[in-house]
């Protein structure tokens, strides 16, 4: 490994480590950047290993996300004190000055600039320029997100160690929910044109992946220049020869149309898994959040989906502690969740983000109440998860297997998003096999591969 002391020569970078915070979209974007480095001969190493360059792709939906990024930066510098550190993504866009104040950070790139990281290194290498290591980052590029109308078209064609790929088809959001900083960080909604989506999906299938997960900031608002909508994307991709599974990530409830539900239910290779952000179970709070549905509409969407797919997986994002949330509002959220067949919840604690309208609302909830409500909701989520897994036991379901721990077991996912574990059999990795789901353990199901049993019999 080259010794980097006072200065940094981009040409000396050999080992690059990546770490991602936040959503599936961010994961897909890290994979895109890592793929660029991989193709150019860099060695991709684990984030806990010594490296010449650390790339931290950040999230900024909450204060906690920011704090986690800062702690990861310090951790990387403890492992390799002389390494070059690039902090990129949403937090870099939102608060570059705060990141710049961390000793050891060299480069800060916003949500669009992050895709230029490799080019920047390559250009610097050619010009023989040498960056000085700290105290202040040499380059800080975080632009006004309002300018962002482009759609990064570098495809995520491979993801290290994964059997499914997050395909980014959409970015940005025009919804303007009162608590959310994302539209001002990632800009307005835009879509990757359908022909490009199809091309990328085709390449992913040719690269041997079995499952594509469609991702974006507000995927349900997908609209390309030829007026193709999300349903057109789903229709085309589910007809793609060789694609065994297509999964939708989050879709806003107001965008889950009857036609889309029908299509998901009809096509066997579209996963029976819906993730519908709920955020709250009180209409009063939903109104203050400027969400585009009310609980009656949400319930209707779920009930209609379950008429068509009674064994579907159903996930939701739920927020506690929005300004003005009373005990009664919180109780409404719990009651609402109790009444629907959720299989998991992503529980978020409201985080006051400067630049959002909710930051100036009266009635900010105190930290103890945040904590208590968050705990109650996490417990509820756990119980809902267990009930869902219990409903699966005794069934035979197709499972797509991932690498597992490499010794004792393999993990995989059913199409309705139950995690399944079987004894280690390497030949099953990246294969879809029917599995008898035998019993629930903490957070997953133990199963037996049906086909193997039959062959052995
Ligand atoms: S839909 Fe609302 S919560 Fe989701 S990214 Fe857009 S503004 Fe944020």
DSSP letters, 228-270, are -BHHHHHHHHHTSTT--EEEE-B--GGG--HHHHHHHHH-TTB
Q: Which of 337, 357, 392 is the last residue of a domain?
A: 392
Q: Which of 340, 370, 392 is the last residue of a domain?
A: 392
The answer to whether the beta carbons of residues 251 and 274 sit under 8 Å apart is yes
Among the ranges given (117-126, 216-225, 389-398), the one the predictor scored with the smallest mean pLDDT? 117-126
42 and 90 housed in the same domain:
yes
297 and 366 housed in the same domain:
yes
Residues with CB under 6 A from ligand 1: 173, 175-177, 180, 182-183, 217-218, 252
Counting the structural domains of the chain, the total is 3
**Ligand 1 pocket test, candidate residues 60, 61, 62, 177, most atoms within 8 A of CB:** 177
Rounded to the nearest angstrom, the distance between the alpha carbon of 31 and the centre of ligand 1 is 23
73 and 14 housed in the same domain:
yes
313 and 439 housed in the same domain:
no
124 and 225 housed in the same domain:
no
Give the pLDDT of residue 101.
87
Residue 157 domain flag: no
Per-residue pLDDT band for 113 (boundaries 50, 70, 90) equals confident
- The closest residue, in CA terms, to atom 1 on ligand 1 is 175
Residue 155 domain flag: no
pTM of this structure: 0.87
Q: In what order do the strands lie in the sheet with 164-168?
A: 164-168, 211-215, 245-248
Q: Facing residues of 275 across strands?
A: 250, 315
229 and 120 housed in the same domain:
no
388 and 401 housed in the same domain:
no
292 and 429 housed in the same domain:
no
Residue 151 domain flag: no
212 and 272 housed in the same domain:
yes
Rounded to the nearest angstrom, the distance between the alpha carbon of 319 and the centre of ligand 1 is 13
Residue 158 domain flag: no
Rounded to the nearest angstrom, the distance between the alpha carbon of 178 and the centre of ligand 1 is 9
Per-residue pLDDT band for 126 (boundaries 50, 70, 90) equals very low
Give the pLDDT of residue 131.
46
Domain ranges, residue 58: 7-143
The answer to whether the beta carbons of residues 168 and 27 sit under 8 Å apart is no
Residue 137's CATH number: 3.40.50.2300
310 and 418 housed in the same domain:
no
Per-residue pLDDT band for 142 (boundaries 50, 70, 90) equals low
Check whether the bond before 135 is cis (ω within 30° of 0).
Answer: yes
Q: Sign (positive/negative) of CA torsion 274, 277, 281, 284?
A: negative
């Amino acid at each position: 490994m080259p010794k980097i002391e006072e200065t940094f020569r981009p040409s000396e970078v050999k080992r690059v480590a990546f770490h991602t915070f936040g959503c599936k979209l961010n994961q897909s974007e890290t994979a895109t950047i890592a793929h660029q480095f991989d193709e150019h001969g860099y060695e991709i190493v684990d984030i806990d290993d010594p490296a010449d360059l650390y790339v931290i792709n950040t999230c900024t939906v909450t204060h906690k996300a920011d704090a986690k990024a800062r702690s990861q930066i310090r951790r990387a510098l403890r492992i390799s004190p002389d390494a070059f550190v690039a902090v990129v993504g949403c937090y870099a866009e939102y608060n570059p000055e705060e990141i710049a104040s961390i000793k050891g950070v060299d480069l800060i790139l916003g949500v669009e600039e992050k895709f230029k990281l490799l080019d920047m290194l390559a250009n610097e290498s050619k010009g023989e320029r040498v960056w000085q290591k700290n105290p202040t980052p040499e380059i800080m590029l975080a632009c006004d997100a309002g300018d962002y109308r482009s759609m990064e078209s570098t495809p995520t064609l491979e993801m290290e160690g994964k059997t499914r790929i997050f395909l980014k088809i959409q970015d940005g959001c025009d919804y303007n929910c009162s608590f959310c900083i994302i539209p001002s960080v990632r800009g307005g909604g835009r879509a990757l044109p359908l022909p490009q989506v199809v091309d990328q999906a085709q390449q992913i299938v040719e690269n041997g992946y079995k499952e594509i997960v469609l991702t974006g900031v507000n995927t349900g608002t997908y609209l390309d220049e030829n007026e193709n909508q999300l349903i057109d994307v789903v229709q085309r991709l589910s007809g793609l020869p060789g694609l065994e599974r297509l999964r939708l990530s989050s879709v806003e409830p107001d965008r889950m149309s009857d036609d889309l539900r029908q299509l998901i239910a009809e096509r066997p290779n579209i996963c029976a898994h819906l993730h519908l952000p709920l955020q709250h179970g009180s209409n009063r709070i939903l109104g203050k959040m400027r969400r585009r549905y009310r609980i009656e509409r949400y319930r209707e969407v779920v009930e209609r989906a379950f008429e068509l797919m009674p064994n579907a997986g159903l996930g939701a994002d739920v927020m506690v502690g929005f300004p003005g949330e009373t005990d009664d509002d919180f109780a409404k959220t719990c009651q609402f969740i109790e009444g629907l067949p959720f299989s998991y919840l992503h529980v978020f604690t409201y985080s006051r983000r400067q630049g959002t309208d909710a930051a100036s609302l009266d009635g900010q909830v105190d930290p103890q109440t945040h904590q208590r409500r968050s705990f109650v909701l996490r417990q509820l989520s756990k119980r809902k998860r267990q009930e869902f897994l219990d409903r699966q036991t005794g069934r035979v379901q197709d499972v797509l297997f991932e690498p597992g721990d490499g010794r004792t077991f393999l993990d995989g996912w059913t199409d309705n998003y139950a995690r399944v574990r079987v004894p280690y059999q390497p030949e099953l990795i990246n294969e879809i096999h029917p599995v008898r789901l035998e019993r629930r353990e903490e957070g997953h199901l133990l199963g037996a591969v049906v086909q193997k049993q039959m062959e052995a019999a």
